[in-house]
Chains A and B, each alone.
Chain A
Amino acid sequence: MGRVTPRGMLTAPLLAAALALGGAGILFAGPAAAQGGSGAEQGTPESFGFGRAATAEEIAAWDIDIMPDGTGLPEGEGTAASGAPIYARQCAVCHGQSGEGGVADRLVGYTPETTPPFGPRYEEWRGDGPDVPYSIGNYWPYATTLFDYIRRAMPSNAPGTLEADQVYGLVAWILAENGLIGADDAMNATTLPAVEMPARDIFVPQER
């Protein structure tokens, strides 16, 4: 669920951008051109007119993604207490009674206080101790991702069947068990994006 669309955009600057990126050599090359194409070869009309306009209802039905700022989060609410019985019934079989992992990933894990589970500070923290697995508590930068992922893909034997309140409850249970929110904190469209995840600042976009 992205931001509101600015209307009335002209196609011309876009075409110019496409030209600049594609490089004239490819755009207007003859039949022996390089592999692939830029989609703006000579003679391409402004519009083909294929397909039909998407309705607001169609978009709403499929647009289930949640952005890090919370855009897309539905109404509803849940707490660790409301999520616990759902977890026990629908998730524990694969992820373990306490989220310790089983046939599927660990959801609740030991979180080093001051460091992600890798790097120089981690090695110092660990000493001769065992390694800490990568998990929600130490390697997920956004709590919103948890809502997005659970609602779209879990439980993996019946994905997409959970109501918003149930997902908020499950997210609250996982976050509380990881010590990232208080045991009684309610998760909703306002509180969830504000949860501070320990791994928030470790990611650096690759530069090429």
Chain B
Amino acid sequence: MPRKVTRRDILAGAAGAIGAATLAPAGQRVHAQDTTKSPGGPASAIGARSPHEPLARGRVTGLSSRTPLQDLHGMITPSDLHFERHHGGVPEIDPDDYRLLIHGMVERPIVLTLAELKRFPATSRICFLECSGNYPTGAGPETKPELVCGMTSTTEWTGVSLATLFREIGASSDATWFLAEGQDAAVMTRSVPMEKAWDDAMIAYAQNGEALRPSQGYPARLLLPGWEGNSNVKWLRRIELADQPFMTREETSKYTDPLADGTARQFSFVFDARSIITSPAYPDVVEPGWIELRGVAWSGRGTIAKVDVSTDGGRTWQEARLQGPVLKQAHTRFRHLWRWDGSETEIMSRATDDSGYVQPTRAALRAVRGRRARRYHLNPITAWRIQPNGQVYYREEPPWDA
């Protein structure tokens, strides 16, 4: 934050020494460095980030990395900052060697090369993709948005709609599920209801205008808008149509939701609505006065209808402004102007989608999921605590199983 320019600075002629000295008298330098007096660098083969904006992820493990939500603007996630979660590492696949097999309850089992896949009519859409396990357990006050729920990202995906392929090969009307299998060392498999194929599923080969990155499933992945990340199988090599789910490990012993009543939800694909204020958030330090609260909201059920914001610990709520375009199953930006008086408080956001679903509190979620809930499909309201000195902290939650 540059120091304010005072009248005395100007009178003393000290303007040249300070950053934003646009009021400098004629003849004096405005910037510390004048870039207008010699040509700049040449055009670049690949545009690079400014060295002053070193966007990076905060924590990378061998198995996962996250989107730094607190450092981004707008709704689109740069491809290289899309979250990652792998079960068998990132395979290196030669596109000439790539084959997709579709078989099972179809008239004509088929093998497609990547080039053949790309000959089918293309379709594009912008949507979020989120890891099923996007929840921080045991997070302390010094937790950034990235570590609260940075395993969600929004990009544009281009590929072939699954319906196009299933028509082509004569999918049986008796088929109710299909298996998607990856070409990684986990040979990842998930069963998906056929309704999703006829609705909006696609095989994506491009992201944000260019070929998929290896970490996103190059050369082709399954894309199920609004559905849990794990079922969007990367490095897709095989699809098999059947009349029942295959009951793979990931859809039985993992990614299922034990409930307080003693049953476990299975095939809970669709993400419920969620939101988070990404600015201000830890580690920001704010000053009293006007602050624009900014954040992101999304729902696998549909379109974000509204986001409410509270600046008094959840006692009262005001509707935030949504930033267009507001797209189905995509990150939606919200903003809310607030004048902070310098006293300690908590700020939070609450998303509502067009199905009428309202983002729950942690307590409401805990009542349904129970003490033994696993870390899947959790979407509670997130709060930030602002201290009188302006330091913003993540509001810690009690241990889930307390």
Chain A contacts to B: CB under 8 angstroms: 1-3, 5-9, 11, 13-15, 17-18, 21-22, 34-41, 44, 47-48, 50-54, 58-59, 62-68, 115-123, 131, 134, 136, 139-142, 144-145, 148-149, 152-153, 156, 159-160, 202-206, 208
Contacts and interface: CB of A to CB of B under 8 A. Distances in A.
Interface of B: 87-88, 101-113, 116, 119-121, 123-127, 160-168, 170-174, 179, 181, 185-187, 189, 195, 198-200, 202, 225, 237-238, 240-244, 246-249, 252-253, 256, 258-270, 327-328, 370-372, 374, 401
Contact of B172 (A9, A48, A205, A208): A9
B388 to A, nearest CB: 40
Contacts of A44: 121, 164, 167
Contacts of B119: 48, 50
A206 B258 CA distance: 12
Given A2-B104, A50-B116, A14 B167 contact: yes
Contact of B165 (A14, A39, A208): A39
Specify which of B105, B110, B121, B253 lies most central, judged by the most chain A CB atoms within 10 Å of its CB.
Answer: B253
A59 B262 contact: no
A144 B120 CA distance: 37
Q: Which 6 A-B pairs have the closest CB atoms?
A: A119-B262, A39-B163, A39-B164, A2-B242, A118-B372, A39-B161
B105 A22 contact: no
A65 B199 contact: no
Contacts of B267: 205-206
Nearest to A142: B247
Given A21-B195, A65-B189, A202-B264, A5 B105 contact: yes
Given A202-B263, A206-B265, A53 B109 contact: yes
A105 B180 CA distance: 24
Given A21-B199, A54-B111, A116-B262, A5 B189 contact: no
A203 B261 contact: no
Contacts of B244: 67-68
A65 B249 contact: no
B101 A35 contact: no
Residue of B125, B172, B181, B264 ringed by the most chain A CB atoms within 10 A: B264
Contacts, number: 231
Contact of B247 (A15, A40, A62, A141): A141
Main secondary structure of the interface of A (DSSP, over half): loop
A160 B187 contact: yes
A113 to B, nearest CB: 15
A51 B110 contact: yes
Nearest to B156: A35
B101 A54 contact: yes
Nearest to A34: B328
Contact of A52 (B111, B243, B269, B371): B111
Contact of A38 (B163, B165, B260): B163
Contacts of B372: 117-119, 122, 131
A35 B327 contact: yes
Contact of B187 (A54, A118, A152, A206): A152
22 contacts: A1-B240, A3-B105, A14-B166, A14-B170, A38-B199, A39-B167, A50-B112, A52-B110, A53-B109, A54-B101, A63-B238, A65-B240, A65-B248, A119-B263, A122-B262, A134-B374, A136-B253, A139-B264, A141-B252, A145-B253, A149-B248, A206-B265
Contacts of B185: 153, 156, 159
A62 to B, nearest CB: 5
Contacts of A2: 104-105, 179, 240-243
A9 B186 contact: no
Contacts of A145: 247-249, 252-253
A43 to B, nearest CB: 9
A36 B252 contact: no
Contacts of B199: 21-22, 38
Contact of B265 (A11, A119, A142, A204): A204
B274 to A, nearest CB: 16
Contacts of A208: 270
Given A39-B164, A59-B103, A159-B186, A203 B262 contact: no
Contact of A63 (B103, B260, B265): B103
B163 A120 contact: no
A35 B124 contact: yes
Nearest to B171: A14
Nearest to B257: A206
B263 A203 contact: yes
A115 to B, nearest CB: 7
Contacts of B101: 54, 58-59, 62
B124 A36 contact: yes
Contacts of A134: 253, 258, 374
A54 B100 CA distance: 10
A175 B372 CA distance: 24
Nearest to A52: B111
